[in-house]
Structure 1
Amino acid sequence: MQSNIGMDLSLFHNRLSFTVDAYQAYKKNLLLNVTLPSASGFGSSVQNIGEVENKGLELTINSQNIGKGPFQWNTDFNISWNRNKVLSLNSDAARIVTSDYQVAQVGSPISSFRLLNILGIFQTQEEISKSPLQNPRVQPGDYKYQDVDGNGTINTSDKTIVGSPWPKFTWGLGNRFSYKNFALSVSLNGTYGNQIYFQGGEVNLNDAGVQNQLASIANRWRSPDSPGDGLYGRAIRNDYAFGFSAGTTKYLFDGSFTRIRDVNLSYTFPTTMVSKLKLQALSVYADVTNLYTFTKYPGYDPEGSTGGDNLAKSGVDFFSYPNPRTYTLGLRVTF
């Protein structure tokens, strides 16, 4: 079931126009993996189960900023907000694991990240003794986890919803400038508010001293007098032996980005010159795609996803191949 409402508005002799669309959709009988009792002989089965709500708002603005004379400038802008939420599964308390780090859970977005939440880094032995019990070998410089169930012991039962791979909003901006026979177009796009689980960080952010590490590990905890930036604990071989490393917020990052998607510069030869060549039109152009990306995400590409088109595994990245930067020179000829 889906409902939509929209509006189109043009002002100033169509120099400024708006398109707004609001929608709400319900999806039922979703195909999801459901865990089965071990007595069945199977680990899971795919079943038609669950209901998900999607609702959002989309806005598009087209503007003719300067439309007369040899210099012209047009702008296109779009932004969209979407929210999805799991409304029901086989029970109100049900939780379906969609990846090693994500779940479909009633009341939360599909594929929400369910991880152990790191509260900080232990600085002293006294601080450890006053905290919920973890591995007995934990010492200053190790991570402090949230005791979600409040039983005084840290284990995998303390995993909790800590984020979503879905942006709070996505946007795009395009500008086209022209001056006589020259034209320049620049387009940008981006997202805000989504998280990415950098699975590749389990290799190059694990602080284990086996593989090459990212430069940010240089700011790790070394001692109470040299605590680093508070993001990475002490260097330790086989930190998984202490119970946790993968599956924690250590590798969960803000996936927001702004990308210069495309820059195109062209020149169209005058018709008087082109007609002498017995052509209708002739132009040359230079184009760059994926020119630069502004982001705090440490992986190759904030748009990378190991799950591909599988929405149930969106936002997990294990060294996904980045969008390439391409340079193109071209000639357009119309006979």
Structure 2
Amino acid sequence: MGLQYDLGESPFTDYRVFKRGQEENSPYFSVNRNGRNDPTNIRYRQAAFFTNVTYSYAGKYILNGTFRYEGANKLGEATSARWMPSWNLSGAWNAHEENFFENLRPTFSHFTLKGSYSLTGDRGPSTVTNSYAVYRSYTPWRPTAGDAESGLEIADLANNGLTYEKKHELNIGTSMGFLDNRINVDFDWFKRNNFDLIGVINTQGLGGQISKFGNVADMKSHGVELNLTAHILRDRNFKWNSTFTYANVKTKVTRLDTRSQVMDLITGTGFALEGGPVRGLYSIPFVRLNDEGLPIFLNTENQETVTSINFQERDKIGFLKYEGPTDPIHTGGFGNTFSYKNFSLNVFMTYSFGNVVRLNPVFSNQYSDLTASTKEFADRWMVAGDEAFTNVPIIATTGQNRAYGNNLRYAYSAYNYSSVRTAKGDFIRMKDVSLSYEFPKDLIRAWKINSLGLRFNATNLFLLYADKKLNGQDPEFVNAGGVAAPIARQYTLTLRLGL
């Protein structure tokens, strides 16, 4: 039933559709909010006031201050939770405007020292609506459709103390130029203290909810950023410019008032634990293969086992092996532009180091004819004694599935998320190569054309380096199940014409 587009957009209804929905206790109409069917109308109210002051003296000393006071009704009802003051103080010193700087030229072209300190806030995830209790209508189930009635239920409890996510941040940086600005360096160091971060917290169920949003975590982070630009050659016909960027970021969760289960920590793209990074990857410790070719692990009791793994355990999680952060620690790029007369060649590479990725969970105790086998299956255990040479388990036989029953699937699930199913996320990628040509002005002037250019560009060409354990998979593109398919290579030919 619905609108008949091919018949003059005339509506068509069938009473039996409504009759069926009434008998199944499934409403025909609903309000979609936040990606879920939730007939609750939400009104957001927010207000903000700010002021800004800037002072500059002779172009040498610059001071700036900003103050902001804002509030939103989506947070706790208490004034201290709903309203938040934030501010920023920053300053800069342009040393190249000082008289003494003339003695440093031309070795030094310019020098600026800058810094800032701030307190900022964020209202948190859009799904947070805990300022008041949220009531939702529903239709209680009844044995017969004729007894249908409407009801109200509590969707979310009020949380008067829920407040903004906050961050203190300190930045110190410098900008320098050398040799008549042929070499330019920008360097920044930062330190951040995030607190009152919002997340789901498990409760004792008081009020009817076993989990709700709360200010559950604090986190610290620090890092550096470097940008280096050099004009290496400036010949009449030939020019060579080079750019190098580098960033280093480390995070540490200092407080986390929530309990994660084993499955949360070993799957996906990283999970937080107190004392670890904001997104860390943890694995079930793999020990070896047994004489049947089945994997053996350490469980919550630090005992060797094949199938006795509790993926829902929340208390005894110390047995898990920490693999590393899933977010790279070192990132950047290196680019070079070569120009000769009207030709220009640009070569740009990116790099990333310091993180780990989970390999695709392709192993199972049972396969079908529709299962695509990867190269890793070629190294599997096949005969007794292979356990001394490989850590890839056997394709389980019918007899093994019968002997272990449904428990054998736990062994292969644990293997997919074990310490041997991780790889380094390090890579160096040839990101972009382009060649362009500008037609001479004397040539195109006769055609009554102001400009004419041709450009060929190739993007995401290949990986110069990646961990061999990836078996050709791309470490830069990950999803919840492991390493995903990379972005395809792109080739573009562009003709630019100006009249």
Would you say same fold, with TM above 0.5?
A: yes
Letter in 2 for 1:141: G
284-293 or 205-214: bigger deviation: 205-214
User: How far apart are the structure 2 equivalents of 1:225 and 1:152?
Assistant: 19
User: How far apart are the structure 1 equivalents of 2:386 and 2:266?
Assistant: 34
User: How far apart are the structure 2 equivalents of 1:319 and 1:166?
Assistant: 14
What residue in structure 2 maps to residue 285 of structure 1?
455
Question: Is 1:329 matched up with 2:496?
Answer: no
Match 2:328 to one of 167, 185, 188: 167
- The alignment's TM-score, normalised by the length of structure 1, stands at 0.80
Q: Unaligned stretches of 5+ in structure 1?
A: 123-138, 307-315
The answer to whether the 8 Å contact 2:280/2:326 transfers is: yes
User: How far apart are the structure 1 equivalents of 2:343 and 2:365?
Assistant: 52
- The alignment's TM-score, normalised by the length of structure 2, stands at 0.55
Instruction: Map 1:207-286 to 2 at 5 A.
Output: 208-210=366-368, 211-227=371-387, 230-236=390-396, 239-242=408-411, 244-286=414-456
287-296 or 147-156: bigger deviation: 147-156
What residue in structure 2 maps to residue 110 of structure 1?
278
248-257 or 270-279: bigger deviation: 248-257
The answer to whether the 8 Å contact 2:205/2:211 transfers is: no
User: How far apart are the structure 1 equivalents of 2:288 and 2:356?
Assistant: 19
250-259 or 220-229: bigger deviation: 220-229
What residue in structure 1 maps to residue 163 of structure 2?
none
Match 2:193 to one of 26, 29, 48: 26
**Percent of aligned positions that are identical:** 24
Shift of 1:332: 1.2
What SS does the aligned partner of 1:45 have? strand
What residue in structure 2 maps to residue 303 of structure 1?
476
Match 2:234 to one of 57, 67, 92: 67
Q: Unaligned stretches of 5+ in structure 2?
A: 1-167, 311-315, 402-407
> Structure 1 residues 288, 149: closer, same or farther in 2, change over 3 A?
same
Letter in 1 for 2:331: T
User: How far apart are the structure 1 equivalents of 2:309 and 2:410?
Assistant: 13
User: How far apart are the structure 1 equivalents of 2:209 and 2:490?
Assistant: 47
Instruction: Map 1:89-168 to 2 at 5 A.
Output: 89-90=256-257, 95-96=259-260, 101=267, 102-122=270-290, 139-146=291-298, 150=302, 155-156=309-310, 157=316, 158-168=319-329
Shift of 1:295: 2.3
> Structure 1 residues 74, 229: closer, same or farther in 2, change over 3 A?
farther
The answer to whether the 8 Å contact 1:255/1:295 transfers is: yes
244-253 or 110-119: bigger deviation: 244-253
Letter in 1 for 2:309: N
Q: CA RMSD in A?
A: 2.8
What residue in structure 1 maps to residue 50 of structure 2?
none
